[in-house]
């Protein structure tokens, strides 16, 4: 099976983003929630151009002979991507119009510039001069290198060749400005600036003003030689490159005159593929900010407040509770404060000597950071591994790392060529004269805010064999150990790939022996060709392979035809719903003695070979059943699940007459709520 049928990652990602767009178009999605899905689509696409498209652009500059050896055809692929994006953008615009039209039926109006009456115009003149004008910055057309990545600008035209740029200060002001009128009326901040250009250019005649947005390459190209310079310092000094990096897309107003488009393209030194026709308004990720004028939820999702955890939320002694039995928590269905309680309790507990954590995306302010600072004040040893290369969060992570260092913590930043993506914490507590370890291993970041929207799982355990393994992981991070000797945890880049390959091989052997064989995997993205190849091999051997992949999936779901008589097609679905599916669950039949792991790693080459990732086996039988029940609910989803078939149509799962509808996120909430009531 040398030539594997693999889907292209960059192309397949677009079909993931289409699933987000389809939620915005779904009539069952409340109107204000549709705007949020539109915001997610827009935000995703921006990051895609900053990161993925920038890499494709660089491939274009590779020597053609070398490119041929690498079997890289960025021009062809880039053209297809841009064509697909253009089609999705058109669909995006139609959905926006339909949604805004529907909102008007509820008295919510987002007025265009030509719909603003004289009274509203006067109000906006005053508003602009009192609050906005001081934050609008004018840039000369001769200084296009000063255009910031992702910033909204108006290109203001005075003649065919005379124009300047004006920043729209959406980073300092609300994007949607409330204006007087019947019902609930708003307008774009962009239009407030457009309506008042006479105050910015009092001595010039304005012929027109058009929205533009420049996306720049978001990758930090760091030097390979780290011998004499700390990596963190290189990253910190390189952050400014994002503002002046290579342009990867100029999104411009479709109403802009061709002559102005041509002049702008020349000034910015852009190619034709870099010029992307857009709508009248950009940065529509700002729809996250769109106000809800109603006190009730008539146009939003009904509230689903996080539930108490059956044991941890009512525990008087969190260490005793974890010591007696492993505990599993599910976000956003349950409260994140149980994680905060572990670190908060450790910070003030006289028996705790040390707290160790890996921090991938640190919140700007949080209960956790306060607890860690309190632990330092109380004389605890605090050891933190701060990921300095967490894309778009480097500056905040490094800032916090330095704060912790100043307070006395031992802070370790990224090691060269490897990123720490694991979500782990270890608390050392002296009990009966001996050190006892308490661990937390999760699938999501230590971030209370994202825990309200990301579906994740976290295991609290005092299981000696697991905590001993985790202690070794931290020794690796602290550079005290090179290769850990692990017995239970899967840790990339040491044991994750090899263990999963062994487990797949065992399923293949069991299927060949006529035994029941099954592999059930849930992850965010599936990209690694070797792992995919082994799944194909398992399918051909008769292993039942069931996948749940939220994002891009490079596996061709239909098995290879004619390879084997007992060939079982691989069935793949994806769920995009109210919350962001983020957990990773790996379940193997294992000859009737099922094995299950949860953790931070997807099946991408970077997660298996180039990052520190930690996955933990589920050893407690009650927790195993609970997690398997939740996984099965998701596999049964026939409301929000879409089939990832080879035609990339994102079609919904078919339901039979009389079959109950399962919307898995709501069903999981009800499942956990019922368990909580039974515990009470």
Higher pLDDT, 11 or 69: 11
Q: How far apart are CA 612 and CA 220, in angstroms?
A: 20
- Extract the tokens encoding 306: 């996080």
- Extract the tokens encoding 352: 């705790």
Domain holding 17: CATH number?
3.30.1840.10
Please report the DSSP string for 235-288 in residue order: HHHHTTHHHHSPEEEEEEETTS-HHHHHHHHHHHT--GGGEEEE-S---GGGGG
649 domain residue, yes or no: yes
Q: Which of 433, 458, 487 is the last residue of a domain?
A: 487
Q: Model confidence over 485-529: pLDDT tens digits?
A: 999 999 999 999 999 999 999 999 999 999 999 999 999 999 999
The residues, ordered by sequence, that sit 6+ positions from 256 with a Cβ below 8 Å of its Cβ are 155, 208, 210, 264
Q: Domain range for residue 636?
A: 492-679
391 is in an annotated binding site: yes
Look at residue 408 and tell me whether its pLDDT is greater than 60: yes
1 domain residue, yes or no: no
Question: For residue 13, what are the CA distances in angstroms to 45, 49, 52, 61, 488?
Answer: 10, 12, 10, 23, 33
Q: How far apart are CA 176 and CA 289, in angstroms?
A: 8
What's the chain's average pLDDT?
A: 88
Based on the domain organization, do 232 and 152 belong to the same domain?
A: yes
For residue 357, give the nearest of 433, 449, 470, 262 by alpha carbon: 470
297 domain residue, yes or no: no
Cβ atoms of residues 491 and 484 within 8 Å: yes
Q: Model confidence over 143-165: pLDDT tens digits?
A: 777 888 889 999 999 988 889 99
Please report the DSSP string for 481-506 in residue order: -SS---SS-EEETTTHHHHHHHHHHH
Q: Model confidence over 226-241: pLDDT tens digits?
A: 333 343 444 344 444 4
582 is in an annotated binding site: yes
Arithmetic mean of pLDDT, 256-275: 86
Look at residue 277 and tell me whether its pLDDT is greater than 80: yes
Question: Which pLDDT belongs to residue 414?
Answer: 67
Based on the domain organization, do 478 and 546 belong to the same domain?
A: no
251 domain residue, yes or no: yes
44 is in an annotated binding site: yes
Higher pLDDT, 443 or 395: 443
> Prior bond to 22 cis, omega within 30?
no
The whole model's pTM is what?
A: 0.90
Look at residue 398 and tell me whether its pLDDT is greater than 80: no
- Angle formed at CA 282 by CA 202 and CA 262, multiple of 5 degrees: 70
Other Cβ atoms closer than 10 A to 502: 10
The residues, ordered by sequence, that sit 6+ positions from 660 with a Cβ below 8 Å of its Cβ are none
Based on the domain organization, do 496 and 467 belong to the same domain?
A: no
Cβ atoms of residues 475 and 412 within 8 Å: no
Based on the domain organization, do 463 and 605 belong to the same domain?
A: no
Based on the domain organization, do 481 and 501 belong to the same domain?
A: no
Based on the domain organization, do 506 and 407 belong to the same domain?
A: no
**Where in the sequence numbering do the catalytic residues fall?**
421
Arithmetic mean of pLDDT, 650-676: 95
467 domain residue, yes or no: yes
Based on the domain organization, do 481 and 517 belong to the same domain?
A: no
The residues, ordered by sequence, that sit 6+ positions from 346 with a Cβ below 8 Å of its Cβ are 352, 355, 371, 375, 380, 427, 429, 438
Based on the domain organization, do 116 and 250 belong to the same domain?
A: yes
98 domain residue, yes or no: yes
Phi, psi of 246 (to 5 degrees): -60, 130
Look at residue 71 and tell me whether its pLDDT is greater than 50: no
* Helices (H) then strands (E): counts for the chain: 21, 26
Q: Model confidence over 10-51: pLDDT tens digits?
A: 899 999 999 999 999 999 999 999 999 999 999 999 888 777
21 domain residue, yes or no: yes
Residue keyed to tokens 């995997």: 521
Based on the domain organization, do 134 and 17 belong to the same domain?
A: yes
546 is in an annotated binding site: no
Question: Which pLDDT belongs to residue 180?
Answer: 96
361 is in an annotated binding site: yes
Cβ atoms of residues 446 and 423 within 8 Å: yes
Residue 413, SS3 per DSSP: coil
Q: How far apart are CA 200 and CA 174, in angstroms?
A: 20
Q: How many domains does the chain have?
A: 3
Q: Which of 467, 487, 507 is the last residue of a domain?
A: 487
Q: What are the b/e assignments for 28-56, b being 16+ CB within 10 Å?
A: ebbbbbbbbbbbbbbbbbbebbbbbbbeb
Alpha helix positions (H), 49-144:
54-60, 64-69, 74-104, 118-127
Cβ atoms of residues 660 and 650 within 8 Å: no
For residue 568, give the nearest of 591, 531, 543 by alpha carbon: 543
- Using left for φ > 0, alpha for ψ between -120 and 50, and beta otherwise, residue 168 falls in beta
Cβ atoms of residues 408 and 378 within 8 Å: no
Based on the domain organization, do 61 and 123 belong to the same domain?
A: yes
Based on the domain organization, do 479 and 520 belong to the same domain?
A: no
437 is in an annotated binding site: no
Domain holding 564: CATH number?
3.30.870.10
Q: Which of 436, 461, 487 is the last residue of a domain?
A: 487
Look at residue 73 and tell me whether its pLDDT is greater than 90: no
Residue keyed to tokens 């091989």: 505
Q: How far apart are CA 481 and CA 490, in angstroms?
A: 16
Based on the domain organization, do 569 and 612 belong to the same domain?
A: yes
307 domain residue, yes or no: no
Phi, psi of 329 (to 5 degrees): -125, 145
């Amino acid at each position: 099976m040398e030539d594997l049928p693999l889907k292209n990652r960059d192309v397949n990602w677009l079909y993931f983003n289409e699933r987000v767009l389809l939620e915005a178009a779904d009539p069952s999605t409340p109107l204000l929630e549709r705007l949020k899905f539109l915001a997610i689509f827009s935000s995703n696409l921006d990051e895609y151009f900053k990161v993925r498209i920038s890499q494709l652009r660089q491939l274009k500059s590779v020597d053609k002979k070398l490119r041929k050896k690498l079997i890289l055809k960025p021009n062809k692929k880039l053209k297809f991507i841009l064509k697909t994006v253009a089609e999705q953008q058109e669909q995006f615009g139609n959905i926006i119009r339909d949604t805004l039209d529907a909102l008007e039926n509820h008295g919510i109006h987002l007025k265009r510039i030509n719909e603003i009456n004289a009274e509203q115009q006067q109000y906006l003149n005053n508003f602009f001069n009192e609050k906005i004008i001081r934050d609008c910055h004018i840039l000369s057309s001769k200084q296009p290198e000063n255009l910031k990545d992702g910033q909204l600008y108006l290109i203001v035209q005075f003649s065919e060749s005379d124009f300047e740029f004006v920043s729209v200060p959406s980073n300092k002001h609300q994007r949607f400005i409330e204006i007087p009128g019947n019902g609930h009326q708003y307008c774009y901040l962009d239009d407030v600036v457009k309506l008042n250009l006479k105050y910015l250019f009092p001595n010039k005649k304005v012929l027109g003003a058009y929205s533009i947005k420049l996306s720049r390459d978001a990758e930090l190209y760091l030097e390979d030689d780290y011998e004499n310079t700390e990596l963190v310092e290189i990253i910190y000094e390189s952050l400014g490159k994002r503002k002046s990096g290579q342009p990867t897309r100029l999104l411009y107003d479709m109403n802009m005159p061709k002559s102005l488009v041509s002049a702008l393209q020349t000034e910015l030194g852009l190619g034709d593929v870099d010029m992307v026709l857009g709508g009248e308004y950009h940065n529509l990720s700002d729809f996250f900010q769109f106000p809800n004028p109603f006190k009730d939820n008539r146009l939003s999702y009904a509230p689903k407040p996080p539930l108490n955890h059956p044991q941890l939320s009512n525990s008087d002694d969190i260490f005793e509770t974890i010591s007696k039995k492993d505990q599993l928590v599910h976000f956003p269905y349950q409260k994140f404060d149980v994680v905060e309680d572990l670190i908060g309790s450790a910070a003030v507990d006289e028996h705790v000597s040390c707290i160790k954590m890996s921090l991938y995306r640190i919140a700007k302010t949080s209960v956790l950071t306060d607890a860690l600072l309190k632990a330092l004040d109380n004389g605890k040893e605090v050891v933190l591994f701060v990921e300095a290369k967490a894309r778009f969060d480097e500056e905040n992570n490094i800032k916090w790392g330095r704060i912790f260092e100043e307070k006395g913590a031992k802070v370790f930043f990224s090691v060269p060529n490897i990123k720490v993506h694991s979500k782990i914490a270890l608390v050392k507590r002296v009990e009966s004269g001996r050190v006892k370890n308490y661990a937390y291993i999760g699938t999501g970041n230590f971030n209370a805010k994202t825990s309200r929207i990301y579906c994740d799982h976290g295991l609290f355990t005092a299981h000696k064999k697991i905590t001993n393994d985790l202690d070794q992981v931290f020794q690796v991070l602290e550079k005290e150990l090179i290769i850990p000797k692990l017995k239970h945890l899967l840790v990339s880049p040491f044991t994750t790939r090899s263990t999963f390959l062994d487990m797949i091989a065992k399923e293949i052997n069991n299927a060949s022996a006529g035994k029941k064989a099954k592999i059930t995997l849930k992850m965010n993205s599936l990209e690694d060709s070797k792992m995919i190849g082994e799944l194909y091999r398992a399918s051909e051997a008769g292993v039942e392979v069931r996948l749940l992949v939220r994002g891009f999936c490079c596996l061709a779901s239909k098995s290879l035809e004619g390879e084997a008589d007992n060939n079982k097609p691989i069935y793949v679905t994806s769920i995009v719903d109210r919350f962001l599916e983020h957990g990773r669950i790996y379940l193997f039949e294992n000859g009737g003695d099922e094995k299950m792991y949860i953790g931070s790693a997807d099946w991408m080459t970077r997660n298996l070979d180039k990052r520190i990732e930690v996955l933990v086996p589920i050893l407690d039988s009650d927790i195993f059943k609970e997690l398997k029940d939740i996984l099965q609910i998701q596999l049964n989803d026939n409301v929000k699940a879409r089939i990832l078939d080879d035609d990339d149509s994102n079609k919904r799962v078919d339901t039979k007459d009389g079959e109950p509808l399962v919307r898995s996120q709501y069903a999981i909430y009800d499942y956990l709520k019922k368990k909580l009531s039974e515990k009470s």
